[in-house]
Amino acid sequence: MNEWPGIRLLVTESWDEDYHHGQESLHYEGRAVTIATSDRDQSKYGMLARLAVEAGFDWVSYVSRRHIYCSVKSDSSISSHVHGCFTPESTALLESGVRKPLGELSIGDRVLSMTANGQAVYSEVILFMDRNLEQMQNFVQLHTDGGAVLTVTPAHLISVWQPESQKLTFVFADRIEEKNQVLVRDSETGELRPQRVIKVGSVRSKGVVAPLTREGTIVVNSVAASCYAVINSQSLAHWGLAPMRLLSTLEAWLPAKEQLHSSPKVVSSAEQQNGIHWYANALYKVKDYVLPQSWRHD
């Protein structure tokens, strides 16, 4: 009312008992709403999302040009997941040509990734920045006009092609809008080509997985994405993980016997990991003190 005198808040969806939403929708629990302004002026929706955050909603997403999605966590739920992850059932393409669920990936697997100039390349998984197969989490879901579907946490960086400037940028998943273009693997040529986003939605699903490749990118469900999240700079995030890439290289040079004694954290798979990697967790804590707020995902 203070921001736009005479304009009312329009709640387009709230409680749902007719099962018009996905199986895990928070609308069935009365913990989610979609809102707009009474005049349906889409130019106001960016500010409306900010006002929803200030009002105390635990998760706010500008998932469509038509409305803002807002939800609150239950009193018994754990804290909101602010890092970047994919769902365990999402797949990556191995160098052998086999598609493998992210929940089954191992350290050392070579998966399809992307170079800084948008070329497809296979890159080694060197660690998992996060892995928890039991945690319930809210995800953004991107659908392209070519049929690709990517499910990812809101703060994750996604590669977006800018046709006007012919440049590749990285954008937080919950900032991507319909008609934006993302890079998708062409099944015939194997190249990464732009596809238009035709739908942006939200889902709640079980499990989070965040593999880190040496390239700093990964193609998941055929869609090119960063391995990083939370800060809006792919290059800065990649620089921040340089010590882990160096450590991985040094350990690869060591004889197998020395590796066993030098670092118990290095294993052939990530099955023993349950939670955030210690180095990634340290970076997440430091960012609030060294990075401007405008660089971080809010």
Q: DSSP readout, 98-160?
A: -EEEGGG--TT-EEEEE-TTS-EEEEEEEEEEEEEEEEEEEEEEEEETTS-EEEE-TTEEEEE
* Distance (Å, whole) CA 267 – CA 107: 7
| pLDDT tops 60 at residue 111 | yes
pLDDT number for residue 256: 53
**Is 28 in the same domain as 123?**
no
**Is 56 in the same domain as 149?**
no
**Is 96 in the same domain as 39?**
no
Where among 240, 258, 276 does a domain terminate? 240
Q: Is residue 203 part of a domain?
A: yes
* Distance (Å, whole) CA 18 – CA 76: 25
Q: Which one has a higher pLDDT value, 259 or 15?
A: 15
The CATH number linked to 22 is 3.30.1380.10
Q: Which of 58, 49, 9 is nearest to 31 (CA)?
A: 58
**Is 44 in the same domain as 136?**
no
**Is 201 in the same domain as 233?**
yes
- Those residues whose C-beta lies under 8 Å from the C-beta of residue 134, and which sit 6 or more positions away, are 206, 207
Would you place residue 39 in the very low, low, confident or very high pLDDT band (cuts 50, 70, 90)? very high
* Distance (Å, whole) CA 116 – CA 169: 10
Would you place residue 22 in the very low, low, confident or very high pLDDT band (cuts 50, 70, 90)? confident
Least confident range from 4-8, 101-105, 135-139, 281-285: namely 281-285
For residue 209, the number of C-alpha atoms closer than 13 Å in the C-beta half-sphere is 26
Q: Is residue 4 part of a domain?
A: no
**Is 72 in the same domain as 94?**
no
Q: How many helices (H) and strands (E) does the chain have?
A: 5, 16
Per residue in 164-214, pLDDT (tens digit) is: 999 999 999 999 999 999 999 999 999 999 999 999 998 999 999 999 999
**Is 100 in the same domain as 233?**
yes
Would you place residue 82 in the very low, low, confident or very high pLDDT band (cuts 50, 70, 90)? low
pLDDT number for residue 23: 65
Give, as one character, the DSSP assignment of residue 177: -
Q: Are 192 and 224 in contact (CB under 8 A)?
A: yes
Where among 58, 77, 96 does a domain terminate? 77
Q: Is residue 292 part of a domain?
A: no
**Is 129 in the same domain as 48?**
no
Hey, which residues does 114 pair with through a beta bridge?
Answer: 120
**Is 59 in the same domain as 196?**
no
**Is 91 in the same domain as 143?**
yes
Hey, which residues does 152 pair with through a beta bridge?
Answer: 86, 140
| pLDDT tops 90 at residue 113 | yes
Based on the structure, what is the number of domains in the chain? 2
Q: Is residue 143 part of a domain?
A: yes
Q: Are 114 and 217 in contact (CB under 8 A)?
A: yes
Where among 54, 77, 100 does a domain terminate? 77
Structural domain boundaries, residue 71: 9-77
The CATH number linked to 135 is 2.170.16.10
**Is 46 in the same domain as 125?**
no
Please give the average per-residue pLDDT across 73-80, as a whole number: 51
* Distance (Å, whole) CA 237 – CA 215: 12
* Distance (Å, whole) CA 78 – CA 136: 9
